[in-house]
Chain A
């Protein structure tokens, strides 16, 4: 940039808050009226919300009776403080729930670590996740090291949701890359077959895929190959995820100028080097926003496992407020579950935004 611009003062003259308010919101009589009406409306909503959620609310555990007799009509967070364990751990045996908690925390730590650029290498990332899953499995399932065995049927709550999400993503992402590469194969029959498979699976509802993998597959597969229902559902879901994600990756690849692959070829780089060092890194950069989108959707749709009898965080929440003692506090429980989802999905979005800045998407 040339330096001969007129000197711009580093700070605009400070504007008085009052003048700013007046010019923005009270410029004319009508503006003033609209401003006052809306401000009052917003204040009223906020006040009711605070009153319901905080001021008039009951927080103490085991205070269901108090809530029922409460004349203020505030929120009954007592349902959460009494029955939060069901939401987090589902049907997991009470005395063993510390294991589920640690497993859950391990998974979150692994997820956070894998967001750090230091772990982004072909060796570290798989190692990290393998270790994470191993610890999770040993803790949750038990049967080793004097830990009581807890079968997958009794896993539940937030730990189950996180496990399904992590497993589907980890299984689905490599599968998606393979699908995208096959879809782009220079051999027409491979490319067409892959396109057909992707189109067929995408045309089926996720619910029916989960159902098929959970219930129908054991009749078709030889015994010993079926595994637990939970893993079958994860495989089915991963397949579904991979088909969507493959198209996202393919989109990212097609956005690359042809010259990139040509330059790599001209340097004598072989197919896997071209894919691993030139094509995929740039394709992922191009495809970052829809990829984050896909992860968000995947996290939220883990709730569908309820249909085949698993108690994910959503179903556990419903179960926790579903007893005769607590069925008046359904809203509070949904708010709590919603908050859990929000924390995870919002973090994911913010991480996506950070990545976009870091990788300079759209700068080129």
Chain B
């Protein structure tokens, strides 16, 4: 028997059904009753409609994918939403204002099958963002089943901080990664309150990223899996905690100001104790110490026992502090030749300025300048208070007074130190420039990152080649206001020969150009030139993969750049 067409069938069914329901309704009660009947009909039809759509979905190629593949798609989708869902990531999304739902949840509304698969995938739900609300956090924790949790608490956006704090404390036993974030100085009390509740065992904790000061008995001295530990805005570090001994990465970003002095319960830290703790951390691969030494760190009299801190696996070492502390610690460090090192030194007064040479002496002692095959000194940032800093003949006596010296060219002929700075000057004097000026021992070939933030309008393309032609390993570069980016672009353009060896910075993959709108330069021709240079480099296998630019108004160029560069960002949209 031939099957009736869909329209014939459904029109017949509907007509018959409506005929059965038809009848006059004269009073309110009858009308309400009839309305209920019709609503029931609509619901039944909608259910049938869903069944039909589910049949359609069975035919879709996506439906033929096994659940484990759809789970992976959802996990990657969620990872796109939360960049650090799968592992420690330097670029966490702290600053993003959270919404009511994490964005990836939209993918679970696609169809019934996807939702069911999502619900059966605990790994999808274990990334708990507390700023989204306690209800959501509880729901997600329930869906995560027994999976260890990745907890992010952004105090800036959290509505009920006490509830959030209790949530963190209650789930410490099953937390794998914990991130607490707040804007500096805001929610100081809340941060301390959260930290005070972290004195519970954390048997699964692998990574903790916290703000402000922590108790000395953090994690009740029991965090056997803790490998990554970051402290921000802190004035004291729980150095005595055994939890620190197995760390692979320790990052301390100390707070210089003394707005919230928090004395350590165990009394002031002594230098010998600090070096002893660091010496015991034999698994360290990343050591970042920014302003770690408390403001009142004692200058101990007498010789310090010569303990050598020599983490054999160290690959990243950053030290930022006052000159005297940097010098002191460097004397106790033995840095493996494969480590990359960044030093930031500053002085608080003119007396301490005189200590700057001692940093270099200490560096020399570690072997930096002794041979060409040594640690890569990738950045040296000098902060010289109220004084200019001449790299040409680097001696403390040669400091220049900005009030009397307006322009001074250095030996490279291209750098001009502007006298417009009337506050502590930040010179992005990279290792190459410093070496040229001081020891002539660090070849440009070691240079990986370069920041040029010095007024140097006299740069011509050839200057770049003369100065940095050997920097074939340079990976990232930031050129800032006054650095004549147009001349840089011309220098970056591959030569006619097209040979990789002739190209400036052949391995450059990240470029940031920060340029003030007030500077007089032709945006259109600059944009056009930028596109041409990037195309040309891409064609020759030296593509720039990451580009950040502060000023760019030409839409057509933005479009072209988005196509050309996988990671393209306009830093200041308002421009």
Q: Do A and B bind each other?
A: no
Q: Which residues of B contact A (CB under 8 A)?
A: none
Q: Which residues of A contact B (CB under 8 A)?
A: none
